[in-house]
């Protein structure tokens, strides 16, 4: 069973950078494979990881719908579900130590609900083959209500060094409780904190009921090391 790490927070806080650092840490220090999931329609986790995207879930869904509309032949007489399973497997971006699945955006108007549902389904399905999964979510809180983020071992809620950022982090924390999501641990990371503002922001975060020391260089290192120990214990 995979140890699942998900990231949440408002836009511009550095979620993708931290997701990339977490993946790099696990690959280099733990030397175990990671399934990286870019669940943001404006995908850029691949840039943080230094790989190119050749296919996205959103684009694959559009191609599958076009096959249905046109009545085109399916390879080997496969059902649409079998064909899509195959396409998703082929869309995985393979790199040293990790594989990347990218949601992307569907063509034309419409919401991203279908692509989100597919990402959730295949994250659950593929995670059975990986010891670690890291999910970089879109900005805001909608991915929580869509339950793209569910059955998570560690939720990293990322804020910038502003009162608004901390308030957003608190709303995300509260929404997890309201939706009764299956999230084992939650940590708040305040990114880009300068030395002279750390204590004030820490006091604000503690006043809002956040659970951990919010300094990024302490929180990230301590929590990722804790992930290693916890996952090892679960595997024994």
Mapping DSSP onto H, E and C, the string for 72-103 reads CCCHHHCCHHHHHHHHHHHHCEEECCEEEEEC
Structure tokens at 227: 């992930």
Which whole-number Å values give the CA distances from 231 to 30, 183, 224, in the listed order?
11, 15, 11
Are 189 and 157 within 8 A, CB to CB?
Answer: yes
pLDDT digits (tens, 9 = 90+) for 34-67: 999 998 888 889 999 999 998 888 788 777 777 6
The pLDDT score that the predictor gives to residue 214 is 42
Report d(CA 119, CA 189) in Å as an integer: 25
The alpha carbon torsion through 230, 15, 48, 23 (nearest 10 deg) reads 0
| Pure H helices in 71-213 | 80-91, 113-126, 142-145, 163-179, 198-207
pLDDT digits (tens, 9 = 90+) for 149-203: 667 899 998 888 787 888 888 888 888 888 888 888 888 888 877 666 666 666 6
Q: Which domains does the chain have, with CATH numbers?
A: 3-235 (3.40.50.300)
The pLDDT score that the predictor gives to residue 57 is 83
pLDDT digits (tens, 9 = 90+) for 103-137: 886 555 555 566 667 777 888 888 889 999 999 98
DSSP H/E element including 185: strand 183-190
Report d(CA 178, CA 52) in Å as an integer: 38
């Amino acid at each position: 069973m995979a140890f699942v790490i998900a990231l949440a927070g408002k836009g511009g806080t550095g979620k993708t950078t931290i997701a990339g650092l977490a993946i790099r840490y696990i690959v280099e220090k733990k030397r175990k494979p990671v399934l990286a999931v870019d669940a943001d329609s404006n995908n850029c986790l691949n840039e943080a990881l230094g790989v190119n995207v050749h296919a996205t879930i959103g684009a694959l869904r559009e191609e599958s719908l076009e096959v249905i509309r046109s009545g085109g032949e399916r390879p080997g007489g496969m059902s649409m579900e079998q064909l899509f399973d195959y396409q998703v497997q082929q869309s995985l971006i393979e790199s040293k130590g990790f594989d990347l699945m990218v949601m992307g955006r569907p063509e034309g108007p419409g919401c991203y609900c279908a692509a989100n549902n597919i990402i959730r389904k295949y994250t659950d399905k593929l995670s059975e083959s990986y010891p670690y999964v890291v999910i970089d979510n879109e900005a805001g809180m909608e991915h929580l209500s869509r339950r793209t983020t569910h059955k998570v071992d560690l939720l990293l809620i990322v804020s910038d060094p502003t009162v608004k950022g901390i308030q957003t982090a608190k709303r995300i924390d509260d929404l997890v409780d309201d939706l009764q999501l299956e999230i084992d641990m939650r940590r708040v990371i305040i990114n880009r904190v300068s030395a002279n503002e750390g204590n004030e922001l820490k006091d604000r975060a503690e006043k809002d009921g956040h659970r951990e020391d919010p300094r990024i260089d302490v929180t990230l290192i301590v929590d990722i090391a804790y992930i290693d120990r916890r996952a090892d214990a679960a595997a024994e």
